[in-house]
Each structure stands twice: as C-alpha cells, then as structure tokens.
Structure 1
Amino acid sequence: MSSEKGRPEQSPAGEQLALIRESVRKAKVPRAKPRTWRGAALAGELPVARVLVDKGPVHLDRLWDYAVPAELDADAQPGTRVRVRFGAGTSKVREGRREGGGLLDGYIIERVAESDYQGPLAALAQVLSPEPVLRPPLLSLCKAVADRYAGSLADVLQLAVPPRHARIEAEASPRLLPRPGAPEAGSWARYPTGPAYLDALVRGDTPRAVWTALPGPHWPAELARAAVAALASGRGALVVVPDGRAAARVDAELTALLGPGRHVLLTADLGPEERYRRWLAVNRGAVRAVVGTRAAMFAPVWNLGFVAIWDDGDSSHSDTNAPQPHAREVLVLRAVQEKAGFLLGGFGCTVEAAQLVDTGWALPLAADRERVRVTAPRVRTVEEKDEARDEAARAARLPTIAWEVAREGLRHGPVLVQVPRSGYAPRLACERCREPARCRHCSGPLEARERDAGLHCGWCGQQTTDWHCPECGGFRLRARIVGAQRTAEELGRAFPAVPVRTSGRNHVLDTVPDQPALVVSTPGAEPVAERGYAAALLLDGWALLGLPDLRAGEEALRRWLGAAALVRGQEAGGTVVVVAEPTLRPVQALVRWDPAGHAMRELADRAELGFPPVSRMASVAGPPAAVAELIGSAELPPGTDVLGPVPLPVRRAGAPARTGEPPPGEQWERALLRVRPGQGAALAAALKAAQAVRLARREGEPVRLRVDPPDIG
C-alpha cells in the first residue's frame, strides 16, 4: 500500500514499534559500568521501568520502580504487560534482602535512567507480552477518568484493557484498507444543519452537536454516515450504543456503506477471545472504526476524529464496576483530549445534553417543527381513571380511547403495548388506602405470580393467606403495576382473534412482521416492526412518573419517546395513547414531541434548586461511623454542602442485590456532598485522598464513593 505522497506506507503496528524504539534511542544515557541485580546484567539504557501494578485499592494508585534485566530489555517497552513481585516480599528487597514477594500483573508506563528510590530495586519478573496494549492516548484517558470519578487508575484499566489471550496475539491483524470516499447526506438532509455537520467531519474539523433524532428507523444509518464521514478525512470513528440490538443495527448500516473489514463490532456477546481479537486489531491500527456497547468507550482507535453516543439517558451507559464511569462523560473527555468531533443523539434529551448546549460546548442539531409534526405519530392522552364503556375494554384494563385506538390499529398492522415492568402479576396495594402489600415474614412486596395461584413474597417466596392491611384493616387488593405477561393474557382475552407476543427481560424480540398483532413489551425491549407500528399504547404512566427520583419525569419521557418513535408517522395514520395525567410536563412534551424543550426547562429548575448537573455531587455510603470519619478527614472544597447523612433501607436476606447497597441486615447511611460549578475536580480529589489514607492505615470499615450518582432521590 502506498501513501498519497507515493512513498511506501508503514503498517500501523510497525509505525508504533518504530516510534517506541526512536524514543528509547533518544533517551539513551551512557553508563561507565553496567548495573547488575542478583548477579545478572541490567539493561544498558533506561534500566528502570516505572510500573503501574494492577491492584485496585486507591492508596496503591501510584507507579513503582523496577529494574529491567538485560534479557527483557527489548520486550519491556512502555505499554506492555509485565509481572512483578509486590507486597511483603518487595518491601524486603528494598530493605536489602533478596526474598521474593507475591507476583502481580502490571503495565510499564515508562522507562527512565534513574530511580528516586536509593535502595536496591526488585527486577521485573516477566514480560507477559511485547504487545503495547496501553498506548499514551488510552493511558491519558484512563487517568482523566480516574481523577473525575475519584477512583484508582488500576480500576479504570480493568475496564479499558481486556484480558490477554496469547494465541490471539500471535495472529496477524488484517491489512489497513484505504480510506473511503465522503458519504452522501442521505436522511441527514431532513435536518437543516445535518449535511453541514457531515461536511465538517469530512474536512477534518471537530464539530460538536446534540442531536434530537426524528422518529423512525433512520437513526442507525445516520450514525453510520457520520462515522464514514470521519473515516473519509483519514481519522478514526467510535460509536457507543446502549445494547447489542442497537449495536447490530448500526453495524449492519456500516457494513452496507463500507463493506466488510473496515470496522469492528465490540459487544459482550462476542466472547472473550473474539472480543480481544477485534480489540487488538483496533489497538494495532488495522481498523479505524468501532461500534459497540458501554465498554467500547475505551476502544483505542488510532487518530480518533469522531465519537458518538446514542440514547445517553439509558442506564446501560453507566458502568456498574468501580469507579462507575458514564459513557457520555468518557466520550466528552475523549473529544477534548483527542480533538475529535462529538455527537450525542437520541429521541429524547437528558438534562446533561441540554447543559452541553446551554453552555455553548455543543450546538443543537434538530429538524424544524413542520418536519417533526409530519414525521411523528399523533399522540393522545387519557387518564387511568377514565372508565371504559365496552365490556371487552374493561376486561383488558383499557380506557375507552386506548381500546378504540388498539382496535383500529389492528386493522392496519401490529400494535405496541408498553408496560412498566415484566412478570405475570402486579405489585399489589390496599384498595382502600393504597398502602403497598408486604410479606409478614420479611416485609418484601407481595405479588401474584400466576393466575389463581395466591399471593407470594417477591423476596422470600413464602405464600401469604388471609392478608389484611396493617394501616386501615382493609382486605381487598388492587394492582399497582401489572406485569407484561398478565397484560398479554388480559389483552388476549379481549382480542381473541389476534396473536399476542411479549418482549421483556427473559425473552427480547428483535423484530416483528408487518401483520396485525399485539406486542406487549417492557421499556427498552420493544421490537422493531418492519413498516412501523400502526399504534402504541403506553400504559400505567403514573408508575413511571411517580418514582421518588429526580429523573422520574425525564426517564418517563425518554421511555415513551423510544416506544412512540417506532410508530408510523401521523401522515400514515400512526397514533399513540399515553395513559397518564395530561397536564404533567413530560406528558405535554410527548404530545408536542419536544424533548429538547422539556430538558431545558428541567435544567432551569435544577439550576434554581442547585441540583446536578448544574452543581456537582458525590455520594458517600457506608456504616455511620465510617461515613462520618471520611467526611471529617477530607479536605473538602470551600462551600461544600453536606446533605445528610440519611439511613439507607436495610436490605433483607433474599432481597435482590443492587450496586451500592449495603450487605443484608446492615444499617448504612448515605451522605451527599454538593459543590458549586467548577469545583467537581477538587471534590473528587479530596475524597480520593481521604479514601487513600483510610485504606493505607487499614482503619475503619469500607466506604463506597460515587461521583455524579445517577440516583439522589
């Protein structure tokens, strides 16, 4: 392959090794006498390796000096994986003795001529692979993420660098293909500034936009065209989506535009070996475009020119492993550090996305109102208390309007029914006072698992008979939220001649044919209809809006928009019915199809109240004494507000475990620390330093830190 100037172009992997050798050559320091360790010769130049030990505790988040034996000199380059002795044995070596320590994995960060440590250094035990898996851009990103989230660099590297598979490293990577041509605007022409955004990427510029996507099936193709525009400029592209189904749709569009071999798909379904094979092709520079789920946010794309995230409000974008970074914030950091274009897209709009626009960091990218009115379906509202006049409608728990829309829609195609939770039967409550029905043994929620099977506890599983309400003495129950399976059963009785399909946690459908059918789905599991749904019913809206969370309205609107976007446009007769209070702000935003306006109003409210993302917050959770000790010892920024601490609910034995919750039976507290804009980095640094001191002294019980917690309700 030849470059544009007519000279032979070196392969990316060869270019990387040449740069490393050149940096080592320039840093040579002549020595009069070669050093030795245990009688063995050390490397003649740069005999000291600074190693990051792959060990999680934050107080070990520093570099350690090791001697480089001469036989490991060629392979022990910056970015490679090594094994070193660490722990008690290492301390003894530094005291002048020669006992060994425990072997741990690590990464060489740099090679230097001298060590600040004056005693004898332990030597590298082994170079696991000469493959440089931690290049400078990735290392810089991981450091920034660790600092932002008050975590350790080792923890971030565990998220960023996949486990090694030696057999895969021995394989040759594919040859880098020539850059593609600039793509056509395609459906980006529906947006006034869409073609200009693509042109800026093709020129090599770094445009940043928050994109409110029009409803319909075009968004995967639009993301793919933006990625191809970056490739056409000779740069790399990275697209992060919430789940494997969305990733497969973007992957198919990229393959249609580019052909095979120009990009890779990175998802958890690949398996560890295949995932490492594809990650390695990206790290070697043989492939310059990546589409994947959350973990792909760290993909080491060479010469990155474009990063994109779809539906940033989806909880899947927030990592559950320490330090729990969010993909949106990681990609913002990458766009700044690597000078890349940025695109945040979705049918909805989070307050964080609105803040990017409000501060001028990104520009809005949206269609005009006339285009939105034509493309979006008609949205009708109805309250749950509206009584259905039709007997079949009452049997299906549908208000009259919803029943009529479903019946009319089934004449033209499939009808989507969104319910807030999976399962057969509902969480139950007292019919008289609405107090949740709970188990006598463990206080878990009572539910009816199957038809006519009685009441069972959702935690301990015990059956409950002769239930009565401890608050008012009532003995009649009502459904708080009916599950998808129960809803499907009731709709099947109401529409006996229509097939009913379900899509939820245990079985998610990807697509449904363009035939009359009722498709009952939980939020996020809605399958795509071939020609769009004829209608959609969004049931139990109060259950989403009534959650005790700051994001309840934003999340309800996001889920509704995700389902409504699968419905045919108003010109094609598509209709959506939302069962919720019509005057509420999220419901009105759905009717107007105005997610950006809703997010801006939410942002203004939060600014007035001092809530994130206008302010920065951190959560400190743990045993009461440990929480008080950490907050008291941290050098918090001036003006830090300490909210709480407040007791967390005690998790009963058998209750499902969730990230950040206390062990069963333990009483924990949580405090929220709030700082003004611009003080977030100082808050994270203070908490990280205080946590490091506690871990180093091994004093007190563990405390869990989380910067920018998604749930502060």
Structure 2
Amino acid sequence: MAPTGESPEQLTLLRETVRRSRTKAPADITDTLPIARVAVDVSLPHLDRAFDYLVPEDLAATAQPGARVKVRFAGKDLDGFILERLAETEHAGKLARIRKVVSPEQVLTPEVADLCRAVADRYAGVLADVTRLAVPPRLAKVEAEALRCNQPTRPVESTSRDEWSPYPHAEGFLDAVRRTEAPRAIWTAIPGADWALAFAQAAAVCASTGRGALLLAPDARDLERLAKACTTVLGPDGFVTLSADLGPTPRYRAFISALRGCTRVVIGTRAAAFAPVTDLGLVALWDDGDDSYAEPRAPYPHAREVLLLRAHRQKCAALLGGFARSAETAALLESGWANELIADRAVTRAAAPAVHIAGESDRDLARDPGARAARLPHQAFEVAREGLKTGPVLVQVPRAGYLPSLVCQTCRTPSRCTTCGGSLRRTGSSGPASCTVCGRPAADHRCPECGDTRMRAAVVGARRTAEELGRAFPGVVVRTSGGDSMLDEIPGDPALVVTTPGAEPVAENGYAAALLLDTWLLLARPDLRAPEEAVRRWFNAAAMVRSAREGGKVIMVGEPSAMPLQAVVRWSPEGYATRELEERRTARLAPAAKLAELVGSADAVADLITRVRDLVDPTAGLEVLGPVDVDEETVRAVVRTPRAYTLARVLKEALAARGTKKLPGPLRVQVDPATFG
C-alpha cells in the first residue's frame, strides 16, 4: 500500500531517482586506439568474423591484443579474445563496449591468432573452435605465479650432432637452422635410430641461436622418450612439456611458461601444435602417419598440417621424421616443398634386420606346406625359438574389434568395391554386401586374386595368441602390451612380448626377433589408408629389432606377393610411399585430391550437397560419392575436387548460408579426414 500523500506515479519516479544515484556512470572511451577487434566465442559459420567494440578508459591498459574479454553479443555475455586495437572502425552503426577484461595475460599471440585463422580456413571450420584448441582454459592462480625463467644468459655455442651422422644432407639442414634460415626436410630414419635424441639435438642447434623450437610426439609414451632425450641434451630446465594428459594446472603452467618466454623449447603431443613459442625457429614432428595427430574435435585439424602452416607463415624450419613415410610427405617431396634426409642404401641395409615372409620360398614350402595358410607357421616358431636364446622376441598381433569389413574366404584379400575402391561390408544377415563409400551393392563380387565369391569377416584375438605361445614355449616369460595395459620398456632378458600394433615397448639392446602375425587383417581394415597404416606399423615394429649382422630377424605371416609386405622385406619406405601417392592420384584421393566427408541427417546432407554444387564452378570436376546410410538417422557422403580447388572455402560458404537461414539437422563436415573408407 502506498504511503499517505504519495501517488504510485510519484513512488515510481522516486525509485528511478534512487536507482540512478546508485548506478556508476559509464567510463569514458579511451582516446588511444579506442576500437578493439574481438574474436567472439561463437561457433556459427555465418558469424565467423571479428567484431568491433569500444574500449572504456578504465580498461584501456589491460585490453591489449591477445587478452581474454567479456563482451555483449546477441543479448548474452560471451567470452572472446582481442585480436587488435584500432583507431577507427568500419562499422557504421553504434558499437557496444567491452564489458570486462577477464585477464590481462595476452594468451593469444598475433602469430597463433593468424595460425588459428589459417587452420579454420583450411578445414572449413570456425575460428572460435580453433582457439579453444590453441588456448587452454584459464587458471587465475597460475597466472598469478611468478614463474622462474631458466633461460641461459648466453646461447649454447655448440652441440653434438652424432645422431645425424648417417644422413649425408643432415649437416646442411642443421647448419641452415643455425643460420636462422627456414629449411624444410622429410627425414627417413634408419632402423634402430634414436629419433628422440636426434630431435633434441636439432632443437639444441635452434636454441643456440636464441630462437624457439617446437617438437611433437604422437603419444604419451613417445613424449616421455622425447623428454628424457631433451633432459640429456638441453638439461631439465631447457624445455617444457605441454600435453593434455598433464592435467589442467600443469598444462596451463607449461603454457604460460612458453608464453612468457621462460623456455626456448616446447615438446608435446598434438595439443602443443599451437604452443606460443617465442621467436619460433623450428617445428618438428615424429611419425606423421600416426592417427593420434588427428584432432577429434571440430574442425578436426591434423597436427602435421598445423605445423606445416605454421612453418610457412612464420618462416621457420620444418622437420617431419619417421621410420616409414606417408603419402602426404611423399607429396611434399614431389612438389619440392621439402628436401629429403635419408641415409645411403648400404647404411640402411646394415642397420636393418633380416625380414622374411613365411612361405615366400620353395624351400620354406617344402619344409612346411601350410606356411602360407597357417596363422603361426613352423618358420615363425623356429625364429622365435632361436631369438629367445639371446633376448626378447616381439610378437605383433592386430587388435580385434575393427569396424565390420570383409575379406576373401580363400585368400583373405580385402574385398573392395569395383566402382570406387571402398571397403565392402554387410549391414544385415541377408542381402548382398555393399560399399562403405558409395553404397553400391556388390552382389556379383569376385575376388580379383583367386576368383572366389565367398567373403568372411576379419576378426582376431591377441589374448588367445599369448596363451597359445605360452603353451608352445613352456617356461618362457610371456608379457602382453596393449589396450589399458601398456608397457613402456622391458629388460633384455629372453621373453615373448605379445603386443597390438603401436603398443610395442622398447627393449634393452633391441629385440632379438619379431613375428608380425595376421598381416592380412591390418590390410583388411575398412579404411582406404589401411595399406599405408599397416606398412607404418610394420616398419615401426621391425625398426626395434637388432640388425641382421647382430642376428636380428623379422618374420611376416601373410601373402608373399603383397606389395605392402614386400616394401618391408626390401626396407623401402620411400619407394612404397611414392607408389601409394601414385595410386592415390589415380583414385583421386588425398593428398592428390581434395575431399570432405559430410555426416548428418539425410535432409541436411542433401541440402549441403545442393548448395555446394551451386557454388562450385561446373568445370572444377566436383564429384559426390553417396550418401550412404550410417544408421537409421544418419547418412554419410563424400565430395571431392582436384587438389588445387578451394573446396574448404566453398563448404564454408554453404555452411554459412545454412546457418543464416537457421536450417535444422545435425551436420559434421570433415576436410581430408584421417580415416576414409
């Protein structure tokens, strides 16, 4: 009830007067660079651009490029990063003010911001999604710490390069790094090479010039090996480790340490590809074909491509190394973008183990007629028994549980679609097999190798293999590595080590022998990259075996005429990669062509394909494969164009048009996916 003598209108006026008296007057806008261009955290393609905001006087000192801010956007307070400060704006309307500077720490450096924009454009993504990958969540307590910078007062004058001595052109590459030039190289390591120590030595050469280095390893185990090598070469304070596995606080502390220039060298997994290394002089990545480098979050960038973009834009040296070679690195060499670091053939053969395929010779077949059909032929038993006299024996068994795929019932050759080359699968108990890429039925499929029309599923079990070997070699220690139980290192004592691909522990003084079983199963994965991936796995495992002069032997159980197996026998990763690239070119697959995978509801995928067709030049050679049903609510299609065509830009425009109209339906676009099949 209103007090006596005051009307409701008077009370309303009184309340408004009190409210205004308690409200702080807005600060004036600063006269110095009053406009802040902000990347707002919005993951909508049609809003993927920077927005201008006014900078209040009381925030002018802290609202610097790279700082986190809060801004008003679409009626909500959203996070963002200041990209730059400007004197004027091109926006004709009224500008809102920056509401708050969350932290004065300039966490998004100009170089990384430019890289994030390039990565978003490369993968038809949104800048906000990339900055989430590049900048870890803020921890105020870490920013408040006075981090101790352990930079040496003077650069190291010289460093050992002994791990690079087998490669004739390595000295020239390292000298170019020392001269602060920007050489680019593809390094094919000899068997048994200590790649981690070689990376550390290259980083030391770069650090001696006062510039920074960024080294990436595929997983936590390899990262630990790299950290040990860097500790040996650079000292415990000469580098910092940046990995998502560290946990929020250690990771952010490492990020801030790199940001503030407290260390010249940063090592990490794919999460470190965007690390804010000061004055970057070298980026290096080991085993680029490992699928761990493929980011599972939008826009799904690959760490290799991120580093290559970074090397190009920041004009720094680039080094991609591995025991095997991917088709992508072969394409880089072919284009002249990078040079080759490889040992002389005689040096490579001297370091390699003796590699044989079970049943490849008439003599082997005479001794064991079932050598080519048996899962563990007599020859493999003999090699294992002989190897156990001097050290551990590695037994690699493909992991069970791959996506459904079919192989020939007789010769186990992977069953492929005769139209596009995709893997065949069955979606039910009845009906013909169909292609996982184009969806065409394969009712009349016939194996191109033996002519059999029957197909079977590809399944195997690693645990059962360990049990069988334990019974076959009584009294011998049997160790397993894979899944949730991974071994990092093992002693050099005789033992059978059964592992899944990629889980091989390092053996002291190397393995005496290795058995690579069920090679056909790795080749049968429902992925067009399966042969390349299988070869990479086999080279990585065989490289852990002692050289032939030390008695090291590798037995591969599979089809002797298969080119992937023959590449390992000849120890020719470069030759196989060149052949693979040529086959990709013939089949119009990445990296010889540009392709994108579209996954979503049937209506959304169909609408996006229509929009892409309308935007693409009719002479560009656009091709659409599918759609193919993934499940009851989801379909998948593939669009591809020649490599030189800007497919990502077209996809981005089509997605932006859908976003503007707010069309329904989930949709995922992945450019150059790491797996395809």
Tell me, yes or no, whether TM beats 0.5: yes
Tell me the equivalent position of 1:19. none
| Paired AA for residue 418 in structure 1 | Q
Tell me the equivalent position of 2:200. 224
CA distance in 2, matches of 1:352, 1:610: 14
- Map of 1:109-188 to 2, 5 A cutoff? 109-175=83-149, 176-178=151-153, 179-188=155-164
Shift of 1:621: 2.5
1:208 to 173, 184, 191: 184
Tell me the equivalent position of 1:699. 663
8 Å Cα contact 1:384/1:580 also seen in 2: no
| Paired AA for residue 599 in structure 2 | A
| Paired AA for residue 62 in structure 2 | D
CA distance in 2, matches of 1:580, 1:637: 46
8 Å Cα contact 1:427/1:482 also seen in 2: no
8 Å Cα contact 1:429/1:480 also seen in 2: yes
Tell me the equivalent position of 1:64. 51
Structure 1 residues 112-157: Cα deviation after superposition (integer angstroms, max 9, x where no partner):
2333334433221211100011111111111111111110011110
The worse-fitting range, judged by mean Cα deviation, of 611-620 and 152-161 is: 611-620
1:671 to 633, 638, 643: 638
CA distance in 1, matches of 2:366, 2:539: 26
| Paired AA for residue 39 in structure 2 | L
CA distance in 1, matches of 2:644, 2:457: 46
Shift of 1:442: 13
Q: Find out whether 1:360 has 2:324 as its counterpart.
A: no
Shift of 1:269: 2.2
Cα gap change, 1:431 to 1:678, in 2 (>3 Å): closer
CA distance in 1, matches of 2:144, 2:297: 30
Tell me the equivalent position of 2:603. 625
CA distance in 1, matches of 2:91, 2:124: 27
Cα gap change, 1:65 to 1:604, in 2 (>3 Å): same
8 Å Cα contact 2:602/2:633 also seen in 1: no
8 Å Cα contact 1:481/1:540 also seen in 2: no
| Paired AA for residue 688 in structure 1 | K
Structure 2 runs not aligned, ≥5 long:
1-23, 416-423, 432-454
Cα gap change, 1:305 to 1:524, in 2 (>3 Å): same
TM-score where L is the length of structure 1: 0.81
| Paired AA for residue 348 in structure 1 | A
Cα gap change, 1:248 to 1:388, in 2 (>3 Å): farther
| Paired AA for residue 82 in structure 1 | V
Structure 1 runs not aligned, ≥5 long:
1-36, 90-101, 444-476, 652-664
What's the Cα RMSD here?
3.0
CA distance in 2, matches of 1:703, 1:478: 33
CA distance in 2, matches of 1:629, 1:383: 53
2:248 to 248, 268, 272: 272
8 Å Cα contact 2:391/2:495 also seen in 1: yes
1:420 to 398, 405, 429: 398
Matched residue of 2:156: which SS? coil
Matched residue of 2:515: which SS? strand
- Map of 1:99-498 to 2, 5 A cutoff? 102-175=76-149, 176-178=151-153, 179-382=155-358, 397-421=375-399, 480-498=458-476
Structure 1 residues 219-262: Cα deviation after superposition (integer angstroms, max 9, x where no partner):
11111111111111221101111001111111111111111212
CA distance in 2, matches of 1:59, 1:637: 22
Tell me the equivalent position of 2:441. none
Cα gap change, 1:371 to 1:546, in 2 (>3 Å): same
Shift of 1:574: 0.3
Structure 1 residues 184-206: Cα deviation after superposition (integer angstroms, max 9, x where no partner):
22121111122222222122222
Cα gap change, 1:397 to 1:358, in 2 (>3 Å): closer
Matched residue of 2:160: which SS? coil
Matched residue of 1:337: which SS? helix
| Paired AA for residue 149 in structure 1 | Y
CA distance in 1, matches of 2:574, 2:407: 36
Shift of 1:384: 11
Shift of 1:423: 8.0
Matched residue of 1:125: which SS? strand
Structure 1 residues 359-389: Cα deviation after superposition (integer angstroms, max 9, x where no partner):
1111111111111111000001025999998
TM-score where L is the length of structure 2: 0.85
CA distance in 1, matches of 2:163, 2:288: 22
Shift of 1:611: 2.6
CA distance in 2, matches of 1:276, 1:217: 33
- Map of 1:559-708 to 2, 5 A cutoff? 559-634=537-612, 635-651=615-631, 665-675=632-642, 677-679=643-645, 682-708=646-672
Shift of 1:213: 0.3
1:538 to 512, 516, 525: 516
8 Å Cα contact 1:79/1:108 also seen in 2: yes
Cα gap change, 1:429 to 1:328, in 2 (>3 Å): closer
CA distance in 1, matches of 2:603, 2:331: 37
Shift of 1:208: 1.0
CA distance in 2, matches of 1:360, 1:264: 33
| Paired AA for residue 72 in structure 1 | L
Tell me the equivalent position of 1:34. none
Cα gap change, 1:671 to 1:440, in 2 (>3 Å): closer
CA distance in 1, matches of 2:209, 2:84: 32
| Paired AA for residue 484 in structure 2 | N
Cα gap change, 1:69 to 1:388, in 2 (>3 Å): farther
Cα gap change, 1:423 to 1:585, in 2 (>3 Å): closer
Shift of 1:110: 1.6
Shift of 1:644: 3.6
Cα gap change, 1:61 to 1:439, in 2 (>3 Å): closer
CA distance in 1, matches of 2:356, 2:152: 51
Matched residue of 2:214: which SS? strand
Tell me the equivalent position of 1:4. none
CA distance in 2, matches of 1:692, 1:53: 16
CA distance in 2, matches of 1:478, 1:611: 27
Cα gap change, 1:611 to 1:432, in 2 (>3 Å): closer
Tell me the equivalent position of 1:27. none
Structure 1 residues 395-429: Cα deviation after superposition (integer angstroms, max 9, x where no partner):
x95101111001111111100000110589x9999
Cα gap change, 1:493 to 1:649, in 2 (>3 Å): farther
Structure 1 residues 62-81: Cα deviation after superposition (integer angstroms, max 9, x where no partner):
11222222211111111100
Shift of 1:47: 2.1
CA distance in 2, matches of 1:320, 1:56: 16
Tell me the equivalent position of 2:16. none
8 Å Cα contact 1:388/1:399 also seen in 2: no
Matched residue of 2:298: which SS? coil
Cα gap change, 1:627 to 1:202, in 2 (>3 Å): same
Cα gap change, 1:518 to 1:281, in 2 (>3 Å): same
Shift of 1:441: 10
Structure 1 residues 668-712: Cα deviation after superposition (integer angstroms, max 9, x where no partner):
13132222x322xx2111110110111121114232211112333
8 Å Cα contact 1:236/1:305 also seen in 2: yes
The worse-fitting range, judged by mean Cα deviation, of 632-641 and 139-148 is: 632-641
Shift of 1:182: 2.4
Q: Find out whether 1:525 has 2:503 as its counterpart.
A: yes
Shift of 1:647: 3.9
Cα gap change, 1:544 to 1:164, in 2 (>3 Å): same
CA distance in 2, matches of 1:262, 1:442: 62
